[in-house]
Chains A and B, each alone.
Chain A
Amino acid sequence: MLHSERVRGIVYQALLLAAVVGVGWYLIDNTLHNLQTREIQTGFGFLGRSAGFEIGETMIEYDPSRTYGRALAAGLLNTLWVSALGIVAATLLGTLIGIARLSSNWLLARLASAYVETVRNVPLLLQLFVWYGMLTELLPPVREAIAFGDLVFLSQRGLRYAWPQPAPGWSAAGWGLAAAVAGVLAWRWLAARRQQATGAQWPLLWPALAMLAGLPLAGWLLGGAPTALERPVLGGFDFQGGKALSPEFVALLAGLIGDTMLYVSGGAEHQGPTGGGPIAIIGQIQ
């Protein structure tokens, strides 16, 4: 029986599995034992306890009386948010730079190459420091903020901008946008079916654009066409009202985009993103 290749295979698999499980169990047991011997308390009970510290920017409601679990979730969402923005922006900019490197315009191609060659080996952490330093050292203090009308203010505290006051019209516009996206998808599906059945083509672009622009507009109009803006006003220590992008956020985003862009642009032929990730390759079609 042991000469059967199939049986041997199964035996080896089982042995390997047992070894992996055994080593895993040993490591966990040993760690717990040592933590206990050293009187270090461990466990996940803390997740339900009140955190007691403040977080600068959160996407979900958070205050220091909330739990550690909530604080971790807030941090995780921040990471996902900055990653999502970074991926979109880096893809767009990276593609442009990749195309620019292949351009027949000598200046454009050389500038793009110079950018890639300069930044590609600067460690990400250093790039973050440079961006953060520029944002907090070169921009004016909050009381001397650079103002664009009374809508946008740029200072060491980041970018503060006016934002529509919450109103039914805006939520209606949001629903309109959602309906438009669903409508466009449905239209595409219908058009494809019709083309398969009859061979006739329906226009795609114009109805899609009309839906994407029209439905939110209709929702906004139906909701009473709100125009009131919440403007940032300087009061106390900082601007109050409106929305804000903090220097920490912008520096992190800029650093991530600047770094990831290189991989997207295909400029770092021998390097991949740290930790792996997709690399778009832009080739010239002769």
Chain B
Amino acid sequence: MSARDATPVVEAVGLTKIYGSGNTEVVAMKDVTLQLARGEVVALLGPSGAGKSTFLTALGLINPPTSGRIVIGGETVMDGPRALVDVRAFRRQHLGFVFQKANLIPFLTAAENVAIALEINDTPSRAARKRALELLDYLGVADRAKHLPDALSGGQQQRVAVARALANEPSLLLADEPTAALDSHRGRQVMELFRKVAHERGAAVIVVTHDQRALDVFDRSLEMEDGQLRPGRPMDLNIKQE
């Protein structure tokens, strides 16, 4: 099954981010425009300092752009540095995040780490618990549900982090080097997981990565250099395989 369609779920229009001013001014992101379709999995490549994380955090409503516009699900959420929505509420309802480190809360079990994302979005406790177990099962770590993060391997932690990011069925999943701490086999497993999630659940996924070996998993890739975005090599093969 594929949830992809041509409707853009995310639009970034002319995003620019400038840090500092005068002699210390640094343009981290310059006039970046992007559209992501529902169910699309996109790799964002580029050297360190190219502005990948700046772009990702801008899309994640963590780091507002200096100028430009962000539209998610047809709703303009940022107009320049000005938020047009309650960003925290918007994040919990529409966005999911996965990072290089799983960033699981150490005093919560795997299931609780997923359930908390649901509970802070007003899902009743019992329903949150049930849904968390379903997600862990979907990601193949249901047997680790009652374990604290310390007792999980890096790959298992990252799967739990993905489950947490998916808990509220976000329209956009943002991943910043999610496989950097994993070996190539586990790294590929996680990338394939993103593809599965995007295609089965209809979320748009954008993954910042340096890992060139797993690029065949993505629908397309983008490259960022000196704060500017340009298309990477075509990923038609993957799209045809769908």
Q: Do A and B bind each other?
A: no
